[in-house]
Structure 1
Amino acid sequence: MTPLQTPLLDTIKDAADVRRLPPEKLAQLAAELRAETIDAVSVTGGHLGAGLGVVELTVALHRVFNTPHDRLIWDVGHQCYPHKILTGRRDRIRTLRQGGGLSGFTKRSESVYDPFGAAHSSTSISAGLGMAVARDLSGGDRNVVCVIGDGAMSAGMAYEAMNNAGAMDSRLIVILNDNDMSIAPPTGAMSAYLARLISGQTYLSLREIGKQLAGRLPKFVERGAQRAEEFARGFWTGGTLFEELGFYYVGPIDGHNLDHLLPVLKNVRDAKSGPILVHVVTQKGKGYAPAEASADKYHGVVKFDVLTGAQQKAKSNAPSYTRVFAESLIAEAGRDDKVVAVTAAMPTGTGLDLFGQVHPQRTFDVGIAEQHAVTFAAGLAAEGFKPFCAIYSTFLQRGYDQVVHDVALQGLPVRFILDRAGLVGADGATHAGAFDVAFLACLPGMVLMAPADEAELTHMMATAVAYNDGPLAIRFPRGEGVGVDRPERGAVLPIGMGRLVSGMGEGDLALVALGTRLADCLKAAERLEAKGLKVSVADARFAKPLDRDLLLRLAAGHRALITVEEGSVGGFGSHVLQLLTDEGLLDRGSLKVRAMVLPDIYIDQDTQARQLAQAGLDADAICAKAEGLLGAVQAGRGLVKAG
């Protein structure tokens, strides 16, 4: 295969070099930047389609604005790979999403060109407005530019920020990257001409004069003139919504045409008053045929062959937990017409695309609006339906107030499906589901389950359908199951009942696992038993309510008890310790108890196996914790006293 040739890109060390290029070289730079992005992601995997869609826009922004002095904020951040290449990180671009490598999102600690970290959507305008106000208070002159996709504009937070910005005089530039043509398509040369015209100083100056003149006229005349001006531009450009929010609207313009982009961006850069929104239309996957043909499959990719586009997905004999959930939900919905499914712009990620193919009338994608998704599901539950609200653990954090007030406080039977619970590998700390047990198990009336394998998830789905006494949540990790046989139909589990998986329920050590940490507990138990210890292993199944009888029996029958969970402090282990404290079992010195949880740090991207080792939650760490806890034992058992 011929090595990638990027002679112009090779001369770019940072964004200042982009500004030094002759204008006629920018199209070549964009072409080479696109090729480099494709080649890099083919090696590392990651988000591809969104980045390819903003190549020309990235070049234009760094050309027109004096970054990093001018603040450039990318919403979500998954489209930032071309930005990273142009801002001094090209030499590390093939470490994207790898252990010790570049983040797949913008990250403040990584570069001065990343003024705000982002991986959850719809934060850019709020952050940008804060920076713009800080500039004004400090007497500065920098530009603040936010790039937000039309998908991210479906979140209420974006409109809250725009409403606030529109009521202020702070100079803020918002680039709406419309890559689904969900608002309006560009209209060719006429659209570009109008965008240049209405963003230019002549028009803006005349508009300002008109506003001042209208201010001296009676109110009804002033408002009439304003409406006429808005109608004239709204007729040609379609920006009435943004105008009503207080933004000056420019667009739509072709986001892949530098001849259209550059003059408009220069005009808005030089405008000195108020917030401006520039509507740019782009195509996901632009310039790479496989990604253009299948934008959804190339939004996030694993390693792939550049020539064919074929992704190198590892084969597994076990289905993913996501697929097990989806197939179980489809089966349960076939038996119960009250089962419905809700997701917040993640139908593919949560498996609800499969459910939607079978039950399209009972599938609801509400957009990037987790708060609305939760309360919408609450409304369904209030009317007797059985909503399954499938949201990644990390994203449910955004709807926590609604979980508390709209669901839990009212005792409504919303079923929360928390995909990507625990450590998530290459997406890193921003997407890790570290806190859900802690923030859900503290809520009165909440039932919280975690399957140890795919068969257990099937049973828990049946349990969720049958349970109508209040809110319920099931958390499971990213990736494949352990390969156990799945039942044809799930059995309804007794609420709050765990199971003893191995051992006699008495001996030296009890290991109590929540969720998929069970497999490593069993491995650790096998090693410890080989050293002469008597070990019992239990699967908690429920973080709430706890299986009091099982836990108290294990505590009474062993010298030591260790809980193991892939979640933060304050979760399952904390509730077990509270139980044992309340029962007075910690008052006697013969019982030693420890809770193994995620450490009090954010764990960066790596493989999930390495992350678990770093977190101290794999079989090796469990063995070490057990040996240290039990201390010195007879020499014949092969244990040494912990240091």
Structure 2
Amino acid sequence: MPAARPETPLLDRIESPADLKRLTDPQLEQLAQELRAETISAVSETGGHLGAGLGVIELTVALHSVFDAPRDKIIWDVSHQSYPHKILTGRRDRIRTIRQAGGLSGFTKRSESPYDPFGAAHSSTSISAALGFAVGRDLGGVCETGLGDAVAVIGDGAMSAGMAFEAMNNAGALGKRLIVILNDNEMSIAPPVGALSSYLSRLYAGAPYQEFKAAAKGAVSLLPPPFQEGAKRAKELLKSVTVGGTLFEELGFSYVGPIDGHDMDQLLPVLRTVKARATGPILIHAITRKGKGYAPAETRGDGGHATAKFDVATGEQQKKPSNAPAYTKVFARTLIDEAARDDRICAITAAMPDGTGLDLFAERYPSRCLDVGIAEQHAVTFSAGLAASGMRPFAALYSTFLQRGYDQVVHDVAIQRLPVRFAIDRAGLVGADGATHAGSYDVAYLANLPGFTVMAAADEAELVHMVATAAAHDDGPIAFRYPRGEGVGVEMPERGTPLEIGKGRLIAEGARVAILSYGTRLEEVRKAAESLGRRGITPTVADARFAKPLDAALILDLAANHEALITVEEGAIGGFGSHVAQLLAENAVFDAGLKYRSMVLPDVFIDQATPEQMYETAGLDAAHIEARVLDVLGVARLDEKRA
């Protein structure tokens, strides 16, 4: 039974950000308290990203009270911070549908609301996008809601990626009025790493921060006017009350901060001054706490980043019990086992040690677990350098995040034929995070590269063998993919055995039609085969294991001995099925009359739902596989005629 909803008398009066303009500063503080309570209550019922949103409650209220959205473009980066923003922008009545089928997205989404000017489900894109809005505004761009200020709120580790600095460098050179708010919570999904994090920590470590805090508290008149062109004395005053903003100033930004991002007496005057006086690019450095105001989130190591449904009173999460191990943990434990026998094995993560299971690896081998921050491009080339040095690097990245390093995969890994091992987590459709986080394309974008070995685990036991295969493979790059969530409950081997490269396996022999599965749809293929058996149709079932190199002997044998061949995969057009079709065409198999069908993800972005619902929508569940077999054999049409 859900907990009682919090009392929110002020929030109940807010239908749009315009309503905040009528509130006094003390009322805005009260509104922030109510917004925090409502956010906690909503996420307790739906699950989702919690800590980042709680850390920007006051900032969200202050921004919407000072700026004029949707004319002013507020871009949240990473936009899992945007739940409070959604509540204040006319979506409170739907906030308890977030990340569910037909409900609100867990990220900003242009098609969802005019208050979401730009989607930012991955990180470090907001400054580039905001600069685009600013330049478009000055060049006479046309937008239905108008073009006012461009405000990028970048935080939760997003400033650690190179793209943010590329954008700042460009913005500083252009000199356009642009507002960047660095939401510095000393956190991304995991504790921060790198020189930038250390630099930001030094900015608020000493007494000068407290002096600025005192200066910023109170009235606008206490702040220096740093934004008037040609005011040399104002510039000197700015430097005297800021702490170490040299890095940002060298990039062409005026720097204000650090300020307390939870203190409305600081936030409101600073934002109002910036709104009134800024002429060029400016960065406001706000210090926040991830999970602020909710003890169970504040005390968690990740600041309550993501959560299942939970009890508000205790913070205890409501997770479904399972007897099968999670794929991510299977990968981590197998890699630890391999690393115990090979001190050349090391692991690389891009700010996702928990998500990829490498937190477990780090506990055992801290010097060989390397977190590069939110920097996938660097992660790939760094791994290439490690491989060139004689190490055996495993780059553990989500499929959707590996896309960000694709140029490096091509140039720095594939062309140089370096044995980087890519452990691709979250393959296939992932559920509540929706299209932006779906692992839909890695098979297509890796299997087209010369010299790449590309595998997909059908179950958790196969994943163990594929980790062992990758560890033993030194002849060029190799990748293996596996989904989010628990395995299927198969018997687990004591340790992995390297597979023969490019060899699949026959699961069941039948007649007329062969179903060749690639990845974890094999379980659905088995279910379809069982149902077909009750109709008197016994298909041959095989597990490809490899998309590259293909098991040509297996595939051509299946084609020669069956009327029809159907491939099934959790990837987009251009992946495994396309490679099979090429092989069949090159061997003139179609001339012999083979009926070939490829079941892939449809050519659309599929919105969030449960994984089961998403695969049903995609037509890749057991029922759709069975229907495809019946259709290709003509059985479905005969049934329809009899009906």
- Which TM-score bucket, shorter chain as reference? over 0.9
1:612 equivalent in alignment to 2:625? no
Q: Which residue of 570, 573, 593 maps to 2:574?
A: 570
**Do the aligned partners of residues 477 and 641 (structure 1) sit closer, same or farther apart at CA in structure 2, a change above 3 Å counting?**
farther
Counterpart in 2 of 1:222? Answer: none
Q: Which amino acid aligns with 2:605?
A: Y
Cα deviation, residue 203, structure 1 = 3.2
- In 2, Cα distance between equivalents of 1:200 and 1:273: 20
Alignment check: 8 A CA contact 1:438 1:568 kept: yes
Cα deviation, residue 21, structure 1 = 1.3
Residues 60-75 of structure 1 correspond to what in structure 2 (within 5 A)? 60-75=62-77
Q: Which amino acid aligns with 1:247?
A: F
Query: Which SS does the other structure have where 2:225 is aligned?
Result: helix
Residues 314-329 of structure 1 correspond to what in structure 2 (within 5 A)? 314-329=320-335
- In 2, Cα distance between equivalents of 1:202 and 1:320: 55
1:530 equivalent in alignment to 2:549? no
Q: Structure 2 length normalisation: TM-score? A: 0.93
Aligned length: 621
**Do the aligned partners of residues 25 and 205 (structure 1) sit closer, same or farther apart at CA in structure 2, a change above 3 Å counting?**
closer
- In 1, Cα distance between equivalents of 2:303 and 2:525: 36
- In 2, Cα distance between equivalents of 1:12 and 1:480: 42
Q: Which residue of 13, 21, 27 maps to 1:19?
A: 21
**Do the aligned partners of residues 112 and 634 (structure 1) sit closer, same or farther apart at CA in structure 2, a change above 3 Å counting?**
closer
1:585 equivalent in alignment to 2:589? yes
Counterpart in 2 of 1:204? Answer: 226
Q: Which amino acid aligns with 2:505?
A: R
Counterpart in 1 of 2:261? Answer: 255
**Do the aligned partners of residues 250 and 322 (structure 1) sit closer, same or farther apart at CA in structure 2, a change above 3 Å counting?**
same
Q: Which amino acid aligns with 1:192?
A: K
1:474 equivalent in alignment to 2:493? no
Alignment check: 8 A CA contact 2:504 2:542 kept: yes
Cα deviation, residue 192, structure 1 = 2.7
**Do the aligned partners of residues 55 and 471 (structure 1) sit closer, same or farther apart at CA in structure 2, a change above 3 Å counting?**
same
Query: Which SS does the other structure have where 2:565 is aligned?
Result: strand
Alignment check: 8 A CA contact 1:171 1:273 kept: yes
- In 1, Cα distance between equivalents of 2:328 and 2:564: 35
Alignment check: 8 A CA contact 2:181 2:284 kept: yes
Cα deviation, residue 425, structure 1 = 0.3
Q: Which amino acid aligns with 2:230?
A: E
Q: Which residue of 523, 530, 540 maps to 1:519?
A: 523
Cα deviation, residue 641, structure 1 = 6.6
Q: Summarize deviations over 1:344-381 as a string: whole Å, max 9, x none.
A: 00000000000000000000000000000000000000
Q: Which residue of 622, 626, 629 maps to 2:629?
A: 626
Alignment check: 8 A CA contact 1:631 1:641 kept: no
Q: Which amino acid aligns with 1:29?
A: L
Could you tell me which runs of 5 or more consecutive residues in structure 1 were left unpaired when the two chains were aligned: 213-225
Could you tell me which runs of 5 or more consecutive residues in structure 2 were left unpaired when the two chains were aligned: 188-196
Cα deviation, residue 142, structure 1 = 1.2
Residues 122-137 of structure 1 correspond to what in structure 2 (within 5 A)? 122-137=124-139
- In 1, Cα distance between equivalents of 2:161 and 2:447: 27
- In 1, Cα distance between equivalents of 2:221 and 2:174: 20
Alignment check: 8 A CA contact 2:78 2:156 kept: no
Cα deviation, residue 205, structure 1 = 6.0
Cα deviation, residue 195, structure 1 = 4.9
Counterpart in 2 of 1:91? Answer: 93
Counterpart in 2 of 1:217? Answer: none
Q: Which amino acid aligns with 1:595?
A: S
Cα deviation, residue 534, structure 1 = 2.9
Residues 121-520 of structure 1 correspond to what in structure 2 (within 5 A)? 121-138=123-140, 142-149=148-155, 151-180=157-186, 182=197, 183=200, 184-185=203-204, 190-195=211-216, 203-204=225-226, 208-210=230-232, 229=236, 233=239, 236-296=242-302, 298-504=304-510, 507-520=511-524
Q: Summarize deviations over 1:277-312 as a string: whole Å, max 9, x none.
A: 000000011110111111416100000000000001
- In 1, Cα distance between equivalents of 2:538 and 2:606: 34
Q: Summarize deviations over 1:170-190 as a string: whole Å, max 9, x none.
A: 100000000018413376652
Q: Which amino acid aligns with 1:300?
A: A
The more displaced of 481-490 and 365-374 is 481-490
- In 2, Cα distance between equivalents of 1:561 and 1:440: 24
Query: Which SS does the other structure have where 2:122 is aligned?
Result: coil
- In 1, Cα distance between equivalents of 2:77 and 2:521: 34
Alignment check: 8 A CA contact 1:342 1:366 kept: yes
- In 1, Cα distance between equivalents of 2:603 and 2:137: 34
Root-mean-square deviation (CA), in Å? Answer: 2.1
Query: Which SS does the other structure have where 2:597 is aligned?
Result: strand
**Do the aligned partners of residues 23 and 642 (structure 1) sit closer, same or farther apart at CA in structure 2, a change above 3 Å counting?**
farther
Alignment check: 8 A CA contact 1:454 1:486 kept: yes
- In 2, Cα distance between equivalents of 1:270 and 1:28: 25
Query: Which SS does the other structure have where 1:91 is aligned?
Result: helix
Query: Which SS does the other structure have where 2:285 is aligned?
Result: strand
Q: Which residue of 105, 112, 115 maps to 2:114?
A: 112
Alignment check: 8 A CA contact 2:5 2:41 kept: no
Q: Which amino acid aligns with 1:16?
A: A
- In 2, Cα distance between equivalents of 1:496 and 1:272: 61
Q: Which amino acid aligns with 2:30?
A: Q
**Do the aligned partners of residues 148 and 199 (structure 1) sit closer, same or farther apart at CA in structure 2, a change above 3 Å counting?**
farther
- In 2, Cα distance between equivalents of 1:150 and 1:35: 21
Alignment check: 8 A CA contact 1:198 1:250 kept: no
Query: Which SS does the other structure have where 1:138 is aligned?
Result: coil
Q: Which residue of 551, 559, 563 maps to 1:547?
A: 551
- In 2, Cα distance between equivalents of 1:359 and 1:634: 59
- In 2, Cα distance between equivalents of 1:641 and 1:531: 17
Q: Summarize deviations over 1:506-552 as a string: whole Å, max 9, x none.
A: x2110000010111111111111221123100000001100000000
Q: Which amino acid aligns with 2:565?
A: L
- In 1, Cα distance between equivalents of 2:466 and 2:256: 51
**Do the aligned partners of residues 447 and 502 (structure 1) sit closer, same or farther apart at CA in structure 2, a change above 3 Å counting?**
same
- In 2, Cα distance between equivalents of 1:322 and 1:202: 52
**Do the aligned partners of residues 503 and 306 (structure 1) sit closer, same or farther apart at CA in structure 2, a change above 3 Å counting?**
same
Q: Summarize deviations over 1:472-511 as a string: whole Å, max 9, x none.
A: 001111110001111111111000000000115xx21100
Cα deviation, residue 272, structure 1 = 3.9
- In 2, Cα distance between equivalents of 1:175 and 1:633: 59
Q: Structure 1 length normalisation: TM-score? A: 0.93
Alignment check: 8 A CA contact 1:254 1:260 kept: yes
Alignment check: 8 A CA contact 2:630 2:636 kept: no
Cα deviation, residue 18, structure 1 = 1.1
- In 1, Cα distance between equivalents of 2:481 and 2:255: 43
Q: Which amino acid aligns with 1:384?
A: G
The more displaced of 626-635 and 103-112 is 626-635
Q: Which amino acid aligns with 2:264?
A: L
**Do the aligned partners of residues 515 and 174 (structure 1) sit closer, same or farther apart at CA in structure 2, a change above 3 Å counting?**
same
Cα deviation, residue 76, structure 1 = 1.5
- In 1, Cα distance between equivalents of 2:559 and 2:348: 41
Query: Which SS does the other structure have where 1:426 is aligned?
Result: coil
The more displaced of 90-99 and 268-277 is 268-277
Query: Which SS does the other structure have where 1:324 is aligned?
Result: helix
Counterpart in 2 of 1:223? Answer: none
Alignment check: 8 A CA contact 1:195 1:250 kept: no
Cα deviation, residue 587, structure 1 = 1.4
- In 2, Cα distance between equivalents of 1:199 and 1:627: 77
Query: Which SS does the other structure have where 2:204 is aligned?
Result: coil
Q: Which amino acid aligns with 1:185?
A: Y
Counterpart in 2 of 1:215? Answer: none
Counterpart in 2 of 1:220? Answer: none
Q: Summarize deviations over 1:19-44 as a string: whole Å, max 9, x none.
A: 11122211110000000000000000
